[in-house]
């Protein structure tokens, strides 16, 4: 890669399709759910039968505008639908309804990471609404099957300017987009199932030259890892061709994740090949000022702002902030807990380890978690006040998880309160010393290891409830007494 970078600039632009999580399709009342019986969620409208008329789903428009606002785009209060004409078996209408010269959002921005702690602002050229096409299924015997359920499912396409200079940047952008659509609740972001799809346009440009090189378009990467691998593969491939004096042909390549190679799918059409024209069946989309401000008010606090707040208000390290803001619900749980305790870092530690572990193990979301933010704060406060030790806290946590009870009542009913009164521990230490004279002597002779034995015994005879720091202190004190005897 370093050889490439001394001679060429890598230029990448992304086109991301996000399937909007509306109940119904974009222009008809059919269910937009995936996983239904093939060819069951269809009607004359989404199949484009003659004489039918599409009507725009307001929710889909709202979602597109939300994404526009979240990416600081200009919202076009007047936009239009166009027909993109092409033949493919999974497109019974022969055209896809999309937006062309007047998309609903334009000129947005997103801050991404370039690696090594550096950030960069990427320009978003446009976000437009369109309908999805159907699906061809090739892996059932000798014939290809077609499922048109997906025809008419609403998508937004988010198109960047060619602003990325590495596969790392492109992947980081995609992760941020996924995080935002999930925060907004407009798309589930599932790349394996295709609710979030990314096409990567890649070219190399000789350093110092103005003109961009010919690009190829990569498709079919269904994970972040594959996006990164496919882009790096394509950079190398183009470099080898250019170095041998060849030229890049503009084409679409399909990524094969099993072979780690990309194969040409078709030579790439130019937009004029699609014969875009305004859809005569759909009136222009207008967004009133009222509607716009209503949508604006639905905008949640976004990941960028949350991270800033977590580091500046809750004083968490960057790492904690980014882990806890990964998912909106986790971030909100954290904030709810912190309304009732000031031990922010302690909450963060417990959430990043114990809580996330449980969610992972049980494959549940935080909304299905059995401990309420209030009870969780209660547990943290019991630890901070010295009422229970960190070790006992793990048991209390397990109990809370099982029973849904609050920490205080578990500590009470199981009598788990930490013993921090020296008068209760001293006699234990003394009788232990009396019963183990030989070991006391060894300890006095400098056998440090024996110390742990005494600590362990005191903890054992107090069922782990003695305050460990205090136990240490009292053993040392008793040792001094015996030394002077
Ligand atoms: P097309 O008409 O081929 O779809 P667009 O102008 O719509 O091309 O751009 C599609 C995507 O390709 C955009 O994300 C854009 O940033 C990117 N792109 C355009 N030119 C290049 C290039 N030379 N190298 C890499 N990406 C490019
Ligand atoms: Mg395009
Ligand atoms: Zn329909």
Give me the CATH number covering residue 459.
1.10.10.410
Spatial distance between the Cα atoms of 423 and 416, rounded to a whole number of angstroms: 18
Q: Which two tokens stand for residue 275?
A: 């014969």
Instruction: State whether 27 and 129 are in the same domain.
Output: yes
Q: Which residues are CB-contacts of 231 (< 8 A; sequence separation ≥ 6)?
A: 12, 167, 170, 171, 200, 202, 218
CA 164 / ligand 2 centre spacing (Å): 16
CB distance 341 to ligand 1 below 6 Å: no
- Whether the Cβ atoms of residue 29 and residue 43 lie closer than 8 Å to each other: yes
Which residue's alpha carbon is nearest to atom 6 within ligand 1?
A: 161
CB distance 216 to ligand 1 below 6 Å: no
CB distance 161 to ligand 1 below 6 Å: yes
Instruction: State whether 323 and 371 are in the same domain.
Output: yes
Instruction: State whether 318 and 467 are in the same domain.
Output: no
Q: Residue 38 has what pLDDT? A: 95
Which residue's alpha carbon is nearest to atom 13 within ligand 1?
A: 13
- Quick one: which H or E segment has residue 207? none
Short-list 34, 35, 105, CA closest to 63: 105
Ligand showing the shortest atom-to-Cα distance for residue 238: 1
CA 51 / ligand 1 centre spacing (Å): 36
Which atom of ligand 1 lies closest to the CA of 159?
14
Q: Residue 443 has what pLDDT? A: 87
CB distance 160 to ligand 1 below 6 Å: yes
Instruction: State whether 381 and 442 are in the same domain.
Output: no
CB distance 212 to ligand 1 below 6 Å: yes
Last residue of a domain, one of 355, 378, 413: 413
Which residue's alpha carbon is nearest to atom 11 within ligand 1?
A: 13
Spatial distance between the Cα atoms of 93 and 91, rounded to a whole number of angstroms: 6
Spatial distance between the Cα atoms of 186 and 67, rounded to a whole number of angstroms: 8
CA 200 / ligand 1 centre spacing (Å): 9
Q: How far is CA 95 from CA 81, 167, 195, in A?
A: 12, 33, 21
CB distance 32 to ligand 1 below 6 Å: no
CB distance 28 to ligand 1 below 6 Å: no
Residue with tokens 């977590």: 310
Ligand showing the shortest atom-to-Cα distance for residue 24: 3
The answer to whether residue 392 sits within a structural domain is yes
CA 154 / ligand 3 centre spacing (Å): 12
Instruction: State whether 326 and 467 are in the same domain.
Output: no
Q: What is the pLDDT along the chain (485 residues), one digit of tens a residue?
A: 778 889 999 999 999 999 999 999 999 999 999 989 999 999 999 999 999 999 999 999 999 999 999 999 999 999 999 999 999 999 999 999 999 999 999 999 999 999 988 999 999 999 999 999 999 998 888 899 999 999 999 999 999 999 999 999 999 999 999 999 999 999 999 999 999 999 999 999 999 899 999 999 999 999 999 999 999 999 999 999 999 999 999 999 999 999 999 999 877 667 778 999 999 999 999 999 999 999 999 999 999 999 999 999 999 999 999 999 999 999 999 999 999 999 999 999 999 999 999 999 999 999 999 999 999 999 999 999 989 988 899 999 999 999 999 999 999 998 888 888 899 999 999 999 999 989 988 888 888 888 999 999 999 988 888 888 899 999 999 988 888 77
The answer to whether residue 186 sits within a structural domain is yes
Q: Residue 461 has what pLDDT? A: 87
- Whether the Cβ atoms of residue 65 and residue 295 lie closer than 8 Å to each other: yes
Q: Residue 90 has what pLDDT? A: 93
Spatial distance between the Cα atoms of 411 and 392, rounded to a whole number of angstroms: 9
The answer to whether residue 463 sits within a structural domain is yes
Which residue's alpha carbon is nearest to atom 17 within ligand 1?
A: 13
The answer to whether residue 339 sits within a structural domain is yes
Instruction: State whether 142 and 248 are in the same domain.
Output: yes
- Number of folded domains that form the chain: 3
CA 61 / ligand 1 centre spacing (Å): 25
CA 162 / ligand 1 centre spacing (Å): 6
The answer to whether residue 401 sits within a structural domain is yes
Q: Residue 268 has what pLDDT? A: 65
Instruction: State whether 169 and 200 are in the same domain.
Output: yes
Instruction: State whether 196 and 216 are in the same domain.
Output: yes
CA 28 / ligand 3 centre spacing (Å): 5
CB distance 271 to ligand 1 below 6 Å: yes
CB distance 159 to ligand 1 below 6 Å: yes
The answer to whether residue 435 sits within a structural domain is yes
The answer to whether residue 298 sits within a structural domain is no
Last residue of a domain, one of 258, 291, 324: 291
Spatial distance between the Cα atoms of 108 and 128, rounded to a whole number of angstroms: 12
CB distance 248 to ligand 1 below 6 Å: no
Spatial distance between the Cα atoms of 396 and 380, rounded to a whole number of angstroms: 11
Short-list 389, 464, 459, 383, CA closest to 475: 459
Instruction: State whether 134 and 196 are in the same domain.
Output: yes
Instruction: State whether 405 and 459 are in the same domain.
Output: no
Last residue of a domain, one of 270, 291, 312: 291
The answer to whether residue 296 sits within a structural domain is no
Ligand showing the shortest atom-to-Cα distance for residue 252: 1
Instruction: State whether 227 and 312 are in the same domain.
Output: no
Distance in Å from the first CA to the final CA of the chain: 74
Site to probe by mutation for ligand 1, drawn from 13, 204, 231 as the one with most ligand atoms within 8 Å of Cβ, is 13
Tell me, letter by letter, the H, E, C secondary structure of 43-108. CCCCCCCCCCCCCCCHHHHHHHHHHHHHCCCEECCEECCEEEECCCCCCCCCEEEECCCCCCEEEE
Which of the 8 DSSP states describes residue 243? H
CA 216 / ligand 1 centre spacing (Å): 9
Instruction: State whether 333 and 478 are in the same domain.
Output: no
CB distance 84 to ligand 1 below 6 Å: no
- Whether the Cβ atoms of residue 214 and residue 248 lie closer than 8 Å to each other: yes
- Whether the Cβ atoms of residue 214 and residue 55 lie closer than 8 Å to each other: no
> What angle (nearest 5°) sits at the alpha carbon of residue 135, between those of residues 130 and 137?
165
Ligand showing the shortest atom-to-Cα distance for residue 215: 1
Q: Domain residues for 390?
A: 303-413
Half-sphere exposure of 248 (CA within 13 A, CB side): 25
């Amino acid at each position: 890669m370093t050889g490439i970078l001394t001679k060429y600039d890598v230029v990448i632009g992304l086109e991301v399709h996000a399937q909007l999580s509306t109940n119904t399709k974009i222009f008809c009342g059919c269910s937009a759910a995936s996983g239904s019986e093939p060819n069951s969620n269809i009607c004359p409208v989404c199949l484009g039968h003659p004489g039918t008329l599409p009507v725009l789903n307001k929710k889909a428009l709202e979602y597109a505008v939300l994404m526009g606002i979240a990416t600081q785009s200009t919202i076009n209060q007047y936009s239009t639908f166009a027909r993109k004409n092409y033949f493919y078996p999974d497109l019974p209408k022969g055209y896809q309804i999309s937006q062309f010269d007047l998309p609903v959002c334009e000129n947005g921005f997103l801050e991404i990471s370039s690696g090594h702690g550096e950030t960069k602002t990427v320009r978003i050229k446009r976000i437009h609404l369109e309908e999805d096409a159907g699906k061809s299924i090739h892996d059932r015997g000798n014939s290809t099957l077609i499922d048109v359920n997906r025809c008419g499912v609403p998508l937004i396409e988010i198109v960047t300017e060619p602003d990325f200079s590495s596969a790392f940047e492109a992947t980081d952008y995609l992760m941020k987009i996924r995080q935002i659509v999930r925060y907004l609740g407009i798309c589930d972001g599932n790349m394996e199932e295709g609710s979030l799809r990314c096409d990567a346009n890649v070219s190399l440009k000789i350093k110092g030259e103005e003109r961009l090189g010919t690009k190829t378009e990569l498709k079919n990467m269904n994970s972040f890892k594959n996006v990164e691998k496919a882009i790096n593969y394509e950079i190398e491939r183009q470099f080898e061709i250019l170095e041998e004096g060849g030229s890049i042909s503009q084409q679409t390549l399909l990524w094969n994740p099993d072979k780690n190679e990309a194969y040409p799918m078709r030579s790439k059409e130019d937009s004029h090949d699609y014969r875009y024209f305004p859809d005569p069946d759909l009136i222009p989309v207008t967004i009133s000022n009222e509607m716009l401000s209503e949508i604006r008010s639905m905008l949640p606090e976004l990941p960028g702002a949350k991270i800033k707040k977590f580091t500046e208000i809750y004083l968490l390290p960057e790492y904690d902030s980014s882990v806890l803001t990964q998912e909106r619900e986790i971030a909100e749980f954290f904030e709810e807990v912190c309304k009732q305790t000031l031990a922010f870092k302690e909450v963060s530690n417990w959430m990043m380890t114990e809580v996330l572990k449980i969610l992972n193990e049980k494959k549940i979301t935080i909304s299905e978690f059995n401990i309420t933010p209030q009870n969780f704060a209660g547990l943290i406060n019991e630890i901070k006040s010295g009422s229970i030790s960190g070790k006992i806290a793990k048991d209390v946590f397990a109990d809370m998880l099982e029973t849904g009870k609050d920490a205080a009542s578990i500590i009470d009913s199981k009598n788990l309160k930490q013993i921090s009164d020296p008068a209760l521990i001293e006699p234990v230490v003394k009788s232990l010393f009396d019963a183990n004279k030989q070991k006391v002597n060894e300890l006095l002779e400098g056998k440090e290891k024996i110390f742990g034995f005494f600590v362990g015994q005191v903890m054992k005879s107090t069922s782990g409830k003695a305050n460990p720091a205090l136990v240490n202190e009292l053993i040392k004190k008793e040792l001094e007494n015996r030394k002077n005897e």
